[in-house]
Amino acid sequence: MGRVPEGSETATIAVMGATGSGKSTFVNLVSGSSLRTSDSLHSCTEEVAVTEPFVVDSRKVVLVDTPGFDDTNKSDSDILKLIADFLTSSYKDGHTLTGLIFIHRISDHRMGGISLKNFRTFRKLCGEQTLRNVVIVTNMWSDVEPHLGEERERELATSDVFFKPALDQGTKLVRHDSSAGSALSIIRYILGNRPVVMQIQKELVDERKDISQTAAVGELERQLQEAKEAQRIEAERLRQEMEEAARVREEEERRQREEQARRRQEELARIEAERRRAEEQRQRERREWEHRMWVEEQERKAAAERQQRELEARIAEERRQREENERRRREEQARLERELAERMRIEEEARRHQEALEAQWRQAAEAAERERARQQREHEERMAEDHRIYQEALRVQRENAERWERELARRQQDDGGGCFIQ
């Protein structure tokens, strides 16, 4: 590398490959640029990036960093359009590519889908005529056992599926050991080529095709179909797997159902045996109970009969007593009736006697009344007589008293006042 010479033709080299294969790192390493690189498989180069021109062996060189056809943010057709737009406009500006670098990680376990897809699209972009200007660069050798790397490299170079067809047509397969020296030697090798027109440039500019008619788009569509087919096959495989799994599951469920049915059957048999035992026990208890009931019934009957007999005896006794009482009562009644008749007779007699007595008494009373009235009269007459006599006596007495008083007074007069008692 060195100072950019005036007027010399610039060699443009495009770097392509899968995302994370190390394109930007390679470009930076050779050109001294500082394009963003990624630490993961998430892509950083989402646009086509062109380095500042730099000099290798007195040649002006620019490297074109491109996004891979597996960008996490852009579809494959968008990526293709980006690259095609760049190539078309630079071709129209009179620039052709001196070389194309396809980077492949030797550390990949095998050339899987993504790397292969990128390479196939890359090939359709380039066309058969430019394969002499193509260099396939294997990197990341430090990440793999040397013998394993060599084995993979051999497989890549000899398999028709991978790089062999391209190598057969002049493409070069080189190792890159991550050093600036190895990167530079790759650039130097490419600078020995004559610039070529890529197939897509011919198609789009010379043949004025629409991008949809280009071989690269055809390749992408084919890949899409392949992916769809693979997806369909995968879906079919999954469906078959699921069917198989469902069949196995059904078989397992059927087996489990049968097992459950068998267990249920056993359980039912056990329950039935249990039920039969319980039934026998119940029958036994029932017979015992019935026997007990029969014995109790017999005892109850005997007791009832005994009570009945006692009751009948008591009733007979009571009837006898009642009859005896009745007889006595009738006798008593007869006696009372006789007594009553006697008493009535006596009372009648007494009444008659009473009446007679009363009549006698009335007569006597009347007689007594008459007597009393007579005696009253006599008494009154006697009283009147007595009164008269009394009055007479009183009068006599009074006259006597008056006479005595007069006598006394006379005597006193006669005696000169001395006391005289008669």
User: Min. distance of Cβ 198 from Mg ion in angstroms?
Assistant: 20
Q: Which of residues 24-43 bind Mg ion (CB under 5 A)?
A: 24
Per CB under 6 A, 21 contacts ligand GDP: yes
For residue 71, list its beta bridge partners. none
d(CA 226, CA 219): 10
Per CB under 6 A, 115 contacts ligand GDP: no
If we measure between CA atoms, which residue out of 185, 199, 198 comes closest to residue 137?
185
- Which member of 12, 24, 118, 171 binds ligand GDP (CB under 6 A)? 24
Per CB under 6 A, 23 contacts ligand GDP: yes
**Residue whose beta carbon is closest to ligand GDP:** 22
Per CB under 6 A, 44 contacts ligand GDP: yes
Phi, psi (degrees; rounded to nearest 5) at 268: -65, -45
Q: Applying CB under 5 A, which part among 3-11, 18-26, 184-192, 232-240 lies near Mg ion?
A: 18-26
SS3 (DSSP) at 97? strand
39 binds, among ligand GDP, Mg ion, none (CB under 5 to 8 A by kind): ligand GDP
Per CB under 5 A, 45 contacts Mg ion: yes
User: Min. distance of Cβ 21 from Mg ion in angstroms?
Assistant: 9
99 binds, among Mg ion, ligand GDP, none (CB under 5 to 8 A by kind): none
The residue to which tokens 């007593």 are assigned: 321
How many CB atoms are closer than 10 A to CB 221?
13
31 binds, among ligand GDP, Mg ion, none (CB under 5 to 8 A by kind): none
Helix (H) or strand (E) holding 87: helix 76-92
d(CA 311, CA 221): 121
DSSP string of 229-274?
HHHHHHHHHHHHHHHHHHHHHHHHHHHHHHHHHHHHHHHHHHHHHH
- Which member of 11, 13, 16, 19 binds ligand GDP (CB under 6 A)? 19
What is the CA 322 to chain-centroid distance, rounded? 84
Residues that bind ligand GDP (CB under 6 A): 17, 19-25, 37-39, 43-45, 139-140, 142-143, 178
Residues forming the site for Mg ion (CB under 5 A):
24, 44-45
